[in-house]
Each structure stands twice: as C-alpha cells, then as structure tokens.
C-alpha cells in the first residue's frame, strides 16, 4: 500500500527544467558546443558537475577541474537569475491540489531533487509546507540514477521503499526510483520514461485513487 509519494522538483512541480536548459544552452553556445533539447534529456536529474561533464563530452572539450567549476558556477548564476524572477503562479496546474489530496488520505509527501537550488525554488513558490520532507543535492553524495536521494527521503519519512511512489521527469530519476525499490510515475514522454510503471503527461492530471493500480 502506498504510504508516501516522493516528488522530483524540476519538470515535475514546476518548469525549472526549462530554465536549466536555457542556462546550459547559453554556456554551450559560449563554448561553441552544439547542444539540443534532445541532448538536454541526459542532463536531467543529474548533478551540476555531472551535467558539466556530459556537456563537455558532447563537444569533445577537455578542461581543468578549476575551469569546469568556474563554468558550472557561471551557469548556476544564470539559472539563479531565472529563479529569482519566478512567480508562485508558475507551479504546474493541479500540483498543489494533488499534494493536498494525498495528505488528506494520510499519504506522506516528500521532495527529492538533485538540485542544490531546490529549497530556494520551493520558497519562491511558497510550497515548503506542502512537503513532510525535503531532500536536495546538498544532502547526498551520489546523484540520480543512484538511489541514494530517494532512500534518504524514505528514511526521513519513516516509510519502506516498497510503499513509496516517485514522480519523475528524468530517465536518470526513473532509474533511481526503481533502483531504490520504489514504484515510479514518469511525467513526460514514454520514449525516455518507459521503464516507469506509468507515464503521464502532466503531474496535475494524476489522481490519488490511481496509486493502487501501479
Ligand atoms: C536537477 C535537474 C538538473 C540539474 C540538477 C542540479 O536534477 O534536473 O537539470 O542540473 O538538478 O541542479 P543545481 O541547481 O544544483 O545546479
Ligand atoms: Mg526533474
């Protein structure tokens, strides 16, 4: 029986995945690396420095650790600029209602994002109080597809992995949820998320009654 739902943030609660893409794209353009929306799928769910490595790999560019960190910081400055201009209305339609319905049914809610900016984002959206537990990229060593972040969220929620359902828009996130022994609802395209028990287009269209059919 489902006792907790754990949500990814970027691309599941709000479209910050697009802001990440725009910031990486700007960096790729500066570096003369061809970078498409399809390439960006590989960056979803993974940490900032791993994303940096994937981007440089696409352009066959080798840089020192120091330069990689400088460029990743630059990308983050651009991303944070977007976040600072974000409005609470940007939360995807139906997401708050879903979180409220889950809680009413006694199901715990967690947020598990690889982003080190996750807390800032949920503060800007005024939704901190909708989650019983928030786990972010500052609290784990291994980012998705490693299951660490979901296992940490489940342990903080006091719920067994098998009783958790994860909502994810990234292939790496779906893999992490399954590796943690959890069920997963993919949010996006079945092409990337086909391993999930179910794939939906938008988080807000999910109904709590559907949890037991997973
Ligand atoms: C999430 C996003 C990734 C992002 C990562 C790190 O997993 O899906 O696109 O690169 O977090 O985010 P950060 O805000 O710490 O750079
Ligand atoms: Mg995501």
Same domain, 163 and 179: yes
Same domain, 10 and 46: no
Same domain, 99 and 167: yes
Domain count, the chain: 2
Residue at a domain's end among 83, 110, 130: 83
Burial class (CB in 10 A: 0-12, 13-18, 19+), 51: buried
Same domain, 184 and 153: yes
Residues 154, 4 contacting (CB under 8 angstroms): yes
What distance in angstroms lies between residue 16's CA and the mean position of ligand 2's atoms?
8
Q: pLDDT tens-digit profile of 130-184?
A: 999 999 999 999 999 999 999 999 999 999 999 999 999 999 999 999 999 999 9
Residue at a domain's end among 83, 104, 134: 83
The verdict on the CB of residue 41 being under 6 Å from ligand 1 is: no
Same domain, 179 and 163: yes
Strand-pairing partners, residue 167, are 7, 185
Strand-pairing partners, residue 164, are 4
Same domain, 98 and 180: yes
Catalytic site includes residue 39: no
What distance in angstroms lies between residue 46's CA and the mean position of ligand 1's atoms?
6
Instruction: Give this prediction's pTM.
Output: 0.97
Can you tell me whether residue 79 is helix, strand or coil? Answer: helix
Residue 155: enclosing H or E segment and its boundaries?
helix 148-157
Mutation to probe ligand 1, out of 17, 19, 20 (largest number of atoms < 8 A from CB): 20
Phi-psi group of 45: left, alpha or beta (phi > 0 → left; psi -120 to 50 → alpha; rest → beta)? left
Same domain, 185 and 112: yes
The parts of the chain modelled with pLDDT lower than 70 are none
pLDDT at res. 172 = 96
Same domain, 28 and 8: no
Pairwise CA distance, residues 201 & 207, whole Å: 13
Rg (CA), the chain: 17
**Nearest atom (ligand 1) to Cα of 50:** 10
CATH number, position 133: 3.40.50.1000
**Nearest atom (ligand 1) to Cα of 116:** 15
Same domain, 43 and 134: no
pLDDT at res. 127 = 97
β-pairing, 183-187 with 198-200?
parallel
Residue at a domain's end among 83, 116, 141: 83
User: Average pLDDT over the chain, rounded to whole?
Assistant: 97
Question: Could you tell me the strand order of the sheet in which 164-168 lies?
Answer: 133-135, 108-112, 4-7, 164-168, 183-187, 198-200
pLDDT at res. 104 = 97
Same domain, 29 and 102: no
Same domain, 22 and 34: yes
Domain that holds residue 26: 17-83
Catalytic site includes residue 10: yes
Q: List the one residue out of 52, 116, 129, 127 whose CA is nearest residue 86.
A: 127
pLDDT at res. 58 = 97
CATH number, position 75: 1.10.150.240
């Amino acid at each position: 029986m489902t006792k907790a739902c754990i949500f990814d943030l970027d691309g599941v609660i709000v479209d910050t995945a697009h802001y990440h893409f725009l910031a990486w794209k700007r960096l790729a353009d500066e570096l003369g690396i061809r970078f498409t929306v399809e390439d960006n799928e590989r960056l979803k769910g993974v940490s900032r420095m791993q994303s940096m490595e994937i981007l440089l790999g696409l352009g066959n560019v080798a840089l020192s650790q120091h330069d990689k960190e400088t460029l990743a910081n630059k990308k983050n400055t651009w991303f944070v600029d977007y976040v600072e201009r974000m409005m609470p209305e940007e939360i995807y339609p139906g997401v708050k209602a879903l979180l409220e319905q889950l809680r009413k049914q006694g199901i715990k809610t967690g947020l598990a994002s690889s982003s080190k900016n996750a807390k800032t984002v949920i503060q800007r959206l005024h939704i901190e109080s909708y989650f019983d537990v928030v786990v972010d990229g500052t609290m784990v060593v291994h980012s998705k597809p490693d299951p660490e972040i979901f296992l940490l969220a489940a342990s903080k929620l006091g719920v067994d992995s098998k009783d958790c359902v994860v909502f994810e828009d990234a292939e790496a996130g779906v893999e992490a949820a399954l590796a943690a022994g959890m069920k997963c609802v993919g949010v996006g395209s079945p092409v990337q998320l086909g391993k999930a028990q179910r794939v939906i287009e938008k988080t807000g269209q999910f109904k709590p009654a559907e949890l037991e059919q997973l």
